[in-house]
Amino acid sequence: MTRPTISGISSFFIVADVRRSQRIRYRGHRWLWFVLRSSSTVSHPSVMTKKQMRYLISATALILVTALISVAQPTTRWILLPETEAEHAKQLCSRPGPPKFQTTWKPTEGHIQTMESRLSRISRLRTQSGIAGVQIKHPNRYYRQYLGIMINGKEFIFINAFCNDKPPERWRESLIDVCDGGCSWGVVYNVATGQFSHLEMNGVA
């Protein structure tokens, strides 16, 4: 027997009334009626067998749980990397890394939020290497990895940015080093002054 399928997510309620014929009558939204009409196993959207109803409830519950898990996942385009990843930033394959730093530190959520509110300032800078003289029009549209670094006793945040419709799975744990071409760039943020500097961009492949 072919089972009904569900192609969408919608909230609905079911009022069950078990009758002698072992069929269940339900009330729901038009969306649920449409799903039932599209199934070859149900002749009318107001009548289903108990087996069909159990399957429908189970399938819908699975879809709702999947949707909730998806919503719960982070949707931001930035991540604060583990401090151990700072070593990989010292020498990138297609552009200079951040200025020489002595150690690392962990920025707070407040530091990150303040820097995020100032990202538009990056568009005032021009790249110094790779494709020199380029401006980053919308820095907030790139995926961004943050690292706290200490330069001569002062706190900085290094931003490693890249554009991908779907970033690599490891981008939240590991520094992404894009070799050759590609729209990848890096910049340094001075926590004390709120200024960005040392904008570097990958060259042409």
Between CA 147 and CA 115 the distance in angstroms is 12
State yes or no: pLDDT of 33 exceeds 60: no
Number of domains making up the chain: 2
* DSSP state string for 48-66: EEHHHHHHHHHHHHHHHHH
For residues 43 and 134, state if they share a domain.
no
Measured over all CA atoms, what is the biggest interatomic distance in the chain, rounded to whole angstroms? Answer: 83
From CA 155, how far away is CA 115, in angstroms rounded?
13
Query: How many Å apart are CA 17 and CA 22, to the nearest integer?
Result: 9
Task: Provide the token pair at 75.
Answer: 């949707």
Q: Is the CA virtual torsion 84, 87, 93, 96 positive or negative?
A: positive
Q: What is the pLDDT of residues 144-154, one digit of tens each?
A: 999 999 999 99
pLDDT for the residue numbered 64:
65
Tell me the average pLDDT across 44-59: 66
Q: Domain range spanning residue 148? A: 78-201
Give the pLDDT of residue 3: 42
pLDDT at 43 over 80: no
pLDDT band for 132, please (50, 70, 90 cuts): confident
> Among 14, 42, 73, where does a domain finish?
73
Has this prediction a pTM greater than 0.85?
Answer: no
CB 145 within 8 A of CB 161: yes
On average, the pLDDT of the chain sits at 77
Note whether 1 and 41 are within 8 A (CB).
yes
State how far the Cα of 49 lies from the Cα of 183, in Å rounded to an integer. Answer: 56
Same domain, 101 and 187: yes
Please answer whether residues 167 and 143 qualify as being in contact, where contact means their C-beta atoms are separated by less than 8 angstroms.
Answer: yes
Q: Is the pLDDT assigned to residue 167 strictly greater than 80?
A: yes
Both 9 and 102 in one domain: the answer is no
Query: Angle at CA 180, nearest 5°, toward 133 and 123?
Result: 30
Q: Is the pLDDT of residue 121 over 90?
A: yes
* Judgement on whether residues 44 and 92 belong to the same structural domain of the protein: no
Average pLDDT of span 109-130: 95
